[in-house]
Amino acid sequence: MSTPLVRLGYCRQEVNKTTWEVPERYRDLRQVGTGAYGTVCSAVDSRAGVKVAIKKLHRPFQSELFAKRAYRELRLLKHMKHENVIGLLDVFTADLSLDRFHDFYLVMPFMGTDLGKLMKLQRLSEDKIQYLVYQMLKGLKYIHSAGIIHRVRHVLLHSMCFLSWQILDFGLARQADSEMTGYVVTRWYRAPEVILSWMHYTQTVDIWSVGCIMAEMLQGKPLFKGSDHLDQLNEIMKITGTPTQEFISKLQSDDAKSYIKSLPRVEKKDLLEVFSKVNPQAVSVLERMLLLDPDSRVTAAEALTLPFFSEFREPGEETEAQPYDHSLDNADLPMDQWKRHTFTEILSFKPITLESKETSL
């Protein structure tokens, strides 16, 4: 059987037994991560002279669920235009027509350093922690202003295992822990309401994760290192105390209510004692983030105004996003419509060229 022709201006290459068809400008593809939903390669954009990350989704149109997920990831990445949120530099397909459309590729900035590596190399200074958490919160304020719950635990805050302080990869926002990295430790940064599906998530699900990351930066080890879901919850409650009756009444699951009521009563710990050698202003941030009740947690916009971040604060840079169109978020469309929507989004994208510079922390 003859091999199909490659689209003009594209080249075909094998990456770990998978065929990639990419524009000739992208060279030196090297796999850097893989999982159930996609593979990521680093590449050199020869036109711009910069290193980029290219993600190929695994069979994005194998089912309506996969097609919807792929469309959602593309739309979210296209929408993001903020220095602390990874956006889309390019999106392309080697397929020339809708009826032949079966694969597409997302091009994003390549992050040369990740937080996990940084923390292994050195104990972070207080001013570096201030700076990094401030950047995270700026990114979250932007994302949340668009009405998006990011669920950082899969993303930035794969921080411990994946990329850097830029917030990444919306396609993973509602997927399982180890899909892209092979790590399962993201449970350590997971909000308690997610662990047992206690209630409807709010945007402060991300704030909990940032609090866990910040705590780890301050003490050099994870704050809540549970060995499984229930152990994770127990580790959390050793610090937060067991929930109040008022909070238990908010839980939507009767099983969760019964479980929480069965636990021995534990008093909330004073974080100033837990973090006795840490700047009290930093502890004050944790006190506002690491609260069991999501409604009581500080928002990203509020957290930015806390005294701990005043040294780095530039209110003019704490921008908000344009409103995001959620109209298809809950739609159940046939495959051909998801394909058409996705193909249209690809054709309408205007590529962005990065300046040649290293991304650093």
pLDDT per residue as tens digits for the range 219-231? 988 999 998 888 9
pLDDT bin (cut points 50, 70, 90) of residue 354 is low
- Is pLDDT above 90 for 173? no
> What are the pLDDT digits (tens) for 263-301?
899 999 999 999 999 999 999 999 999 999 999 999 999
Structural domains present in the chain: 12-110+325-348 (3.30.200.20), 115-317 (1.10.510.10)
- Is pLDDT above 60 for 325? yes
The pLDDT of residue 154 is: 37
The pLDDT of residue 129 is: 94
Q: In one letter, which amino acid is 353? A: T
The pLDDT of residue 178 is: 35
Mean pLDDT for 242-248 is: 90
pLDDT bin (cut points 50, 70, 90) of residue 189 is confident
> What are the pLDDT digits (tens) for 129-153?
999 999 999 999 999 998 887 554 3
- Is pLDDT above 50 for 176? no
Residue stretches of the annotated binding site for ATP: 56
- Is pLDDT above 60 for 317? yes
- Is pLDDT above 50 for 188? yes
Residue stretches of the annotated binding site: 56
Lowest mean pLDDT of 67-71, 119-123, 173-177, name the range: 173-177
pLDDT bin (cut points 50, 70, 90) of residue 22 is very high
The pLDDT of residue 114 is: 65
